[in-house]
Structure 1
Amino acid sequence: MNPAPSSALARRNALTVDVEDYFHVSAFAPHIARDSWDSLPCRVEANVDRILGLLDGAGCRATFFTLGWVAERYPALVRRIAAGGHELASHGYGHARVSGMSQAEFMHDISRSKQLLEQLSGQPVRGYRAPSFSIGAASPWAHASLQAAGYRYSSSLYPIRHDHYGAPDAPRFAHYPDGRQGLLELPVSTIRVGGHNLPAGGGGYFRLYPYRCSRWALRRINSRDGQAGIFYFHPWELDPGQPRQHGLAWSTRFRHYLNLGRMEARIGRLLHDFEWGTIADIFPEQP
């Protein structure tokens, strides 16, 4: 069974934000020690406030997959997200890749972040997104663990081929990973061209390709597939003034810093060109 939004919602899309700071990025892990995070200049609060302003101006609501590490240090920000009518969801606590955790460590991480976000916001936290889309063959217990921890859905798969993440053989649209009704998986959007899945759901690809490519892809998903798109971006992607890291591989530097100065305008166009809602809005029939 592959659940889908109703026909009335099929042309609306789910807008999601992965709330993390620039130094949380997995590609920076070899260059920025985890125990140095608290000593680095944080920019996530100001960047999320900019996003909240953009969304409010466009009359849009989004799902904010928020790190527990951020929530613990900026509780007022969590409350502002909730007060704006947005959906709060979990991005785990400390941006650790699921593939690098044991099942027990994963349960502790997802339970800790869920409890923290619920206490701060006063609203239930139903959704989870794995850092770096890191649920895969190395963590076959992940979806069952999420359900056991009280989550209703995951948006942790990106059905593309990528050197750091990706599940190219996963279903492209909403599905139940265990084959029966339970935890719902909502993959980030792709389009199918020439027998291959191509990215259509944001991230660095949205900054790399001309805007018209993303607009075309989302329209194709809405019209040809009759499905809602699931799009994501990060607060640091709207921040060209963030501290620059040194010693990065050219590919990491290119992916991270490309077109940061153009991102805010592109998001503005995206908000204008499509109808958006939270995951809870678009997929209301979560088990």
Structure 2
Amino acid sequence: MSPEHPPPSPCYVLTIDVEDYFQVAAFEKVISPDCWDQYPCQVEANVQRLIASLEARVHTKTKATFFVLGWIAERYPALIREIATQGHEIASHGYHHQRLNHLSQREFREDIRASKALLEDLIGAPVTGYRAPSFSFDENRPWIQDELQAAGYRYSSSINPVPHDLYGYRKAPRTPFLWDNGLLEVPVATAEVFNRRIPCAGGGYFRLYPYALSKRLLQRAARQLGGPVVFYVHPWEIAPDQPRIRAASVKSKFRHYLNLHRTQPRLERLLGDFQWGKMCDLPVVAHHPE
């Protein structure tokens, strides 16, 4: 990925955050990382289903960027190697999926370096991309960008520039930009409607909106942003039969379980309606934010 040349317009980028259902921020108050090994993992089977869906689009050569959690990679090394062998990009999602406001600078440094080293050992290639758990970049921790650059990352896709109670950097640009140290940031997609930013990059919003609305918003984002239009999905979102976390709040359950049965068929339509690429193949024009 280079900030030197403009991309063809529009560029749709498919990203997959490789984590399991019990590791999400919605359940962090009732499930400690120390207890993760007590839950049955479904991530391997779900990722295999996603890979199969991408490979079925042989004529459109659909490739994606997989932001992989280090905890998952350590337990499923063959899965990570398979993803890379299929021609998809392997990037880092950190190691323990802790929101950055829960980490000290030292803890963040150790997390991103451990994940990067593990992934590079598995695939035998550099890992240059990073996505913060739950898009938890914010303006209060300027050392985040310096730590990423020092660890050897070239780009981040860690900002969802909308207001949200768990994430959101609402003042961030909607288009790619350079942090003060030169690290490239590529926010996920938003559409502007009546001067308001509308999230349309995936996740719970993709399950909440009717498919036709998601499609129109992505098309609108492409016209407004010029490219890239970054979309994301989680493997657990295509698993409606996953175990229920009964101790979670009503709000958390609604967010997590809403329309899980619709994700797979909607994703299949999305793969057919747009031509997708991976982050590392996109040339990106970026500027320092004012």
TM-score normalised per structure 1: 0.94
Q: Does 1:150 align with 2:149?
A: no
Q: Does 1:117 align with 2:116?
A: no
The residue type paired with residue 195 of structure 2 is G
5 Å-filtered alignment, 1:184-263, equals 184-263=184-263
Q: Shift of residue 144 of structure 1?
A: 1.2
The residue type paired with residue 16 of structure 1 is T
| Aligned length, in residue pairs | 282
Partners in 2 of 1:5 and 1:31 — Cα distance? 46
Q: Tell me what 1:51 maps to.
A: 50
| Contact 2:130/2:156, CA 8 A, preserved across alignment | yes
Partners in 2 of 1:267 and 1:4 — Cα distance? 32
Alpha-carbon displacement from aligned partner over 1:240-263 (angstroms, at most 9, x marks no partner): 011001132221111100111111
Alpha-carbon displacement from aligned partner over 1:184-242 (angstroms, at most 9, x marks no partner): 00001101122221101111000000011111111112234322200001000000011
Partners in 1 of 2:31 and 2:79 — Cα distance? 24
Partners in 2 of 1:213 and 1:144 — Cα distance? 38
Partners in 1 of 2:282 and 2:234 — Cα distance? 21
Q: Tell me what 1:266 maps to.
A: 266
CA separation of 1:117/1:284 partners in 2, compared to 1, >3 Å: closer, same or farther? farther
Q: Shift of residue 138 of structure 1?
A: 3.1
Partners in 2 of 1:224 and 1:155 — Cα distance? 19
- Further displaced range: 221-230 or 130-139: 221-230
| Contact 1:47/1:238, CA 8 A, preserved across alignment | yes
5 Å-filtered alignment, 1:128-143, equals 128-143=130-145
The residue type paired with residue 160 of structure 1 is V
Alpha-carbon displacement from aligned partner over 1:125-154 (angstroms, at most 9, x marks no partner): 000000011111332210111001000000
| Contact 2:139/2:169, CA 8 A, preserved across alignment | no
Q: Specify the SS of the correspondent of 1:222.
A: helix
CA separation of 1:159/1:284 partners in 2, compared to 1, >3 Å: closer, same or farther? closer
Q: Tell me what 1:79 maps to.
A: 81
The residue type paired with residue 94 of structure 1 is H
Q: Specify the SS of the correspondent of 1:247.
A: coil
Partners in 1 of 2:228 and 2:134 — Cα distance? 22
Q: Specify the SS of the correspondent of 1:240.
A: coil
Q: RMSD of the alignment, in Å?
A: 1.7
Q: Tell me what 1:37 maps to.
A: 36
Partners in 2 of 1:285 and 1:113 — Cα distance? 28
Partners in 2 of 1:52 and 1:225 — Cα distance? 28
| Contact 1:19/1:235, CA 8 A, preserved across alignment | yes
Q: Does 1:177 align with 2:184?
A: no
Q: Tell me what 1:102 maps to.
A: 104
Q: Specify the SS of the correspondent of 1:161.
A: coil
The residue type paired with residue 120 of structure 2 is E
1:70 to 72, 86, 89: 72
Q: Shift of residue 266 of structure 1?
A: 0.5
Gaps of 5+ in 2: none
- Further displaced range: 217-226 or 234-243: 217-226
| Contact 2:4/2:285, CA 8 A, preserved across alignment | no
TM-score normalised per structure 2: 0.93
Partners in 2 of 1:224 and 1:104 — Cα distance? 38
The residue type paired with residue 193 of structure 1 is V
| Contact 1:63/1:88, CA 8 A, preserved across alignment | yes
Partners in 1 of 2:217 and 2:228 — Cα distance? 12
Q: Specify the SS of the correspondent of 1:248.
A: coil
The residue type paired with residue 35 of structure 2 is S
Q: Tell me what 1:13 maps to.
A: 12
- The structure 1 segments of at least 4 consecutive aligned residues displaced by more than 4 Å after TM superposition are none
Alpha-carbon displacement from aligned partner over 1:52-77 (angstroms, at most 9, x marks no partner): 00011113100000000000000000
